[in-house]
Amino acid sequence: MAPLSTWWLLRRLKSRVWATKRIVRALKLFIPMTRDVIRGEFRPIPWSAFGMMALALGYLVMPFDLIPDFLLLIGVVDDVLIVGWLLNRIDQRLEGYRAWKYSDPDMTPS
């Protein structure tokens, strides 16, 4: 089977759907968590999640990358991969907040 065939690509993307879902879930939960931390409603503060988010945002705005962005496709792909990996790790750090937030019977996951 050719490594760049359509079926190979679709199978490969399907096997990575879990990572995409975790990235989206981390982004949707990070802002409310930040609000609850600032208000003092959620403790302990997940400093590692805040640090990783700062790294992800910093990597996106820094002019220096592993692969420069002027190499159009490859330069953007490295940004997506690294930031996606960091967001996936952030989602793991938000388990405590997720359990706290959805332990209230009035709250439902969105």
pLDDT confidence bin for 1, thresholds 50/70/90: very low
pLDDT(2) > 70: no
pTM of the shown model: 0.67
Classify the C-alpha dihedral 82-85-91-94 as positive or negative: negative
What does the pLDDT look like over 28-75, one tens digit per residue? 899 999 999 999 999 999 999 999 999 888 887 776 777 776 777 777
Helices (H), 1-110: 6-15, 17-39, 47-61, 72-93, 95-101
Q: Beta-carbon neighbour count of residue 59 at 10 Å?
A: 16
Query: Among residues 38, 19, 46, 24, which one has the least CA distance to residue 100?
Result: 46
Which comes out higher in pLDDT, residue 57 or 104? 57
